[in-house]
Amino acid sequence: MRTLFGYSDRISARPGDTINFMVSSLRGKPYQADIVRLICGDDSPAGPGFKEILQPTAIDGEYEGREQPIHDGSYVLVPHASTFDNISSFTLQAIIWPTTPGQGRQALLGTWCDEAETGYELFIDETGAAALCIGDGEGRVETLNAGAAMVAREWYVVAASYDADTKEMRVHQEPLTPGPGVGGTVAVQHTAAVDPPARDPAPFLMAAHMKTHAEASGGAVIGAHYNGKIDRPRFANRALSLAEMEKLRSADIPDTLRADIVGWWDFSQDVGGTCVSDMSPHRLHGETVNLPARGMRGHNWSGREHSWQLAPDEYGAIHFHDDDLYDAGWQADFTLTVPESMASGVYCARLVGADDEERIPFFVRPPMGTTTADAVLLISTATFMAYANMQWSMNTIFAEPKGGGITVLGRDDVFLQENPGYGLSLYDKHSDQTGVCYTSRLRPIFNMRPKTSLWSFNADTHVTDWLAKIGQGYDVVTDEDIHLEGLSALEPYRVIITGAHPEYWSTPMWDAMVAYQGQGGRLMYLGGNGFYWRIAYHDTLPGVLELRRAEGGMRYQSAEPGEYYQSFNGELGGLWRRLGAPPNTLVGAGTVGTGFDSASYYRRTEASHDPRAAFIFEGVDNDELIGDFGSLLGGAAGVELDGANRKLGTPPHALVVARSEGHSQLYFLCPEETPFHHPVMSGAENPRVRADLLFYETAAGGGVFTTGSISWCAALAHDGYDNNVARITTNVLRRFLAPEPL
């Protein structure tokens, strides 16, 4: 079982930069910490062997372990202000779209605290009905519910009021589209025997409430998280009539109620940020916590526009989830100042103790304004984050048929099953079955580690091991670096080398790669399913990215209609291919198929004998088949496959020098490749399911080499790197490093 884990506040650093490491040791056991350079993370029996090199630093030593809790679930926090004082009567109201009514108490609006049994709250009770709760902090609590369960994924107006003079409590629940199965309007009232306190220093929360005011660390414990959307939350300082509640639904504050309004929050404002704007004169602005989904269609969405920027009045909802997580918020246990002597590369903070071991990766770039090599390894941190703590294989019936065998759970899978709360991947669904659109690295990421499955991060250490084997120096650059710095992060290098799966690209990243190639840069794309989805990084929040899975593409969940535009920047999400920029235009090939049982091989084509390609096959002239050996994944062509397509932008002069064949019945065309073809035709029957190995020259003497296969990198290490896959890759790197134009 996992007992020791952590994360860092930054993932890319230069000498002189500081990195904070946050660690949790279950049961508070001590541990040893040091820094290692990671050469190869593959410890599988058939692999090239796990390799790391100790790097003595000032952080080396023993640390007193402590257990740090993790609190997921999103909500809005409005800090306490004097405006909230001396409110005896009130009305709370919102338009909601609940997704899990009946699954426990879920807070909507209020100041309630479980521990103190004080405050007031509009909430959904255990039966799924709207309810009002008030408590005086002296043990006296009154609750009133509507008595009728709401239906999931339907819009309702819910309101609750309390009149301090008459002690009358009222709850109003009204479906916006009444009809069979949805129910009708319910209005109930009750005379209470208790008054809520007139002065309560608690903050005003939406979509959650306080379980305790504070704990030893000084922070409140939050619970009763709501699943679903909230639109137009309102707070008035007196008990309103039903007619006045009707006016409260409007987008603008009615003049007749202006003096009675405490808070009038508009979620359509500041969609790209964390601020929740109060449009009332009191300006009781709040902040979202744990990144609930924004840019969500509201109760009045008409479908006339699909971008929240073009119809902001129809995108006034925020979607909250009880399993949202942005920043685990742990305290730092030790801080590394990257030494000037630390070479650019892949590193880990290595923790050993508590009957466990942990390695927290980070990436060191060369000092500012310098390079130490002509080649740079692109670290696909966006892809690592997209798959972070992926639980898809544990939570779907399709995992075994897709993989062609029984799903085997590792210890991290079991830990996440038994200990939810560490955040989800972009391949998972929230507990309310809506798709995850945000992912963060500010939390322990169990599958972004060495000694894990050969996917994403750990698979890319086959490239670092190959580079070490051939004695090739290199620098590293991460996706985040390219996003922030653009072309300047790439242009000092003659050659860019990718890992096995550079799948997720923001617009600044894409533009930087286009510009790099335009000025003669050389790209070795050693993977498959790359340059596939468009993502967005947040402008001000570090370590988080967004993906909206729109129409098309291989996806395990998708965004709702009308919610395809990214909240962080307003761009349309989805496939780069669907956005008019297929990967073929960047690397000559785009994803065509996928399969997860066993990889196959390539067969050389007539084009491989073109004099332009002679340098690729030096030393393997007589090999007709490429990667036809029992490598880690079965062969060099497999898992996810990219093929050339002139219609999608493959350059007309590109040489497809080899093409894979012999794929199994568990390989299939990806969805965007099947509109006019029978979708059940598998790799055993359909020649379009293939990987293309290709090369072409670009402007100013540059070039592109594309393998079109995720398993290519795993095949490098076969027979101690003495094979035609490794030889071809080394040939290309040597020629690309040469200054002569291609």
Domain boundaries, the chain: 4-70+333-363, 75-320, 364-737
In the chain, count H helices and then E strands.
11, 44
Q: Do residues 526 and 713 make contact, with C-beta atoms less than 8 angstroms apart?
A: yes
Q: How many Å is the Cα radius of gyration of the chain?
A: 28
The conformation of residue 151, written as its DSSP 8-state character, comes to P
What values do phi and psi take at 330, rounded to 5?
A: -75, 155
> Of all residues in the chain, what percent are helix, strand and coil, respectively (each to 5)?
15, 30, 50
Domain 75-320 has CATH 3.40.50.2300: no
Distances (CA, A) of 26 to 7, 69, 388: 15, 10, 21
- Tens-digit pLDDT profile for residues 664-714: 888 888 888 886 655 557 777 788 899 999 999 999 999 999 999 999 999
Amino acid 392: pLDDT: 66
Amino acid 218: pLDDT: 54
Beta strand residue intervals within 137-220, DSSP E:
141-145, 156-163, 168-175, 186-191, 204-206, 209-212
**Class of the CATH domain delimited by 4-70+333-363:** mainly beta
Amino acid 687: pLDDT: 83
Amino acid 512: pLDDT: 98
Q: Per-residue confidence at 196, pLDDT binned at 50, 70, 90?
A: confident
Q: Token pair for residue 236? A: 């008035």
Q: Cβ contacts of residue 551 below 8 Å, gap of 6+? A: 558, 564, 574, 578
C-alpha 528/C-alpha 590 separation (Å) is 8
Predicted confidence (pLDDT) at residue 578 exceeds the cutoff of 50:
yes
- Tens-digit pLDDT profile for residues 57-71: 999 999 999 999 999
Predicted confidence (pLDDT) at residue 485 exceeds the cutoff of 60:
yes
Amino acid 39: pLDDT: 98
C-alpha 168/C-alpha 165 separation (Å) is 8
Which residue's structure tokens are 């963060």?
A: 440
Q: Token pair for residue 505? A: 């690209």
Q: Is 331 exposed, middle or buried (0-12, 13-18, 19+ CB in 10 A)?
A: exposed
Predicted confidence (pLDDT) at residue 355 exceeds the cutoff of 60:
yes
Hey, is 574 helix, strand or coil?
strand
Q: State the average pLDDT for the chain.
A: 93
Hey, is 239 helix, strand or coil?
coil
Spacing of C-alpha 362 from chain mean position = 18
The conformation of residue 202, written as its DSSP 8-state character, comes to P
DSSP labels for 276-327? Answer: EEE-STT---EEEES--EEEE--TT--SS---TTT-GGG--EEEE-TT--S-
Report the pLDDT averaged over residues 186-191: 93
Report the pLDDT averaged over residues 520-546: 97
Which residue's structure tokens are 């009514």?
A: 101
Amino acid 395: pLDDT: 59
Q: Do residues 654 and 694 make contact, with C-beta atoms less than 8 angstroms apart?
A: yes
Which residue's structure tokens are 């090999």?
A: 623
What values do phi and psi take at 518, rounded to 5?
A: -65, -25
Q: Per-residue confidence at 216, pLDDT binned at 50, 70, 90?
A: very low
Q: Do residues 388 and 441 make contact, with C-beta atoms less than 8 angstroms apart?
A: yes
Distances (CA, A) of 49 to 255, 350, 438, 453, 718: 73, 18, 34, 14, 12
C-alpha 239/C-alpha 187 separation (Å) is 14
DSSP labels for 399-417? Answer: HHHHHTS-----HHHHHHH
Helices (H), 177-291: 242-248
Amino acid 354: pLDDT: 82
Predicted confidence (pLDDT) at residue 600 exceeds the cutoff of 70:
yes
- Tens-digit pLDDT profile for residues 626-674: 999 877 778 999 999 999 999 999 999 999 999 999 998 888 888 888 8
In this structure, what is the dihedral angle of CA atoms 546, 548, 552, 556, given to the nearest 10 degrees? 80
What values do phi and psi take at 613, rounded to 5?
A: -100, 5
Q: Token pair for residue 37? A: 């350079």
- Tens-digit pLDDT profile for residues 66-109: 999 999 999 999 999 999 998 999 999 999 999 999 999 999 99
Report the pLDDT averaged over residues 452-479: 96
Q: Token pair for residue 583? A: 């990967």
Q: Token pair for residue 392? A: 């898809």
CA distance between the termini of the chain: 53
C-alpha 46/C-alpha 49 separation (Å) is 8
Q: Token pair for residue 308? A: 């929240």
Spacing of C-alpha 372 from chain mean position = 32
Percent of the chain exceeding pLDDT 90 equals: 83
Predicted confidence (pLDDT) at residue 400 exceeds the cutoff of 50:
no
Q: Do residues 514 and 726 make contact, with C-beta atoms less than 8 angstroms apart?
A: no
C-alpha 603/C-alpha 625 separation (Å) is 5
Report the pLDDT averaged over residues 306-320: 97
Q: Token pair for residue 5? A: 């884990």
Q: Per-residue confidence at 596, pLDDT binned at 50, 70, 90?
A: confident
Q: Do residues 142 and 134 make contact, with C-beta atoms less than 8 angstroms apart?
A: yes
Nearest Cα to Cα of residue 316 among 300, 304, 332: 300
Domain 364-737 has CATH 3.40.50.880: yes
Amino acid 431: pLDDT: 95
Greater pLDDT, 521 or 672 = 521
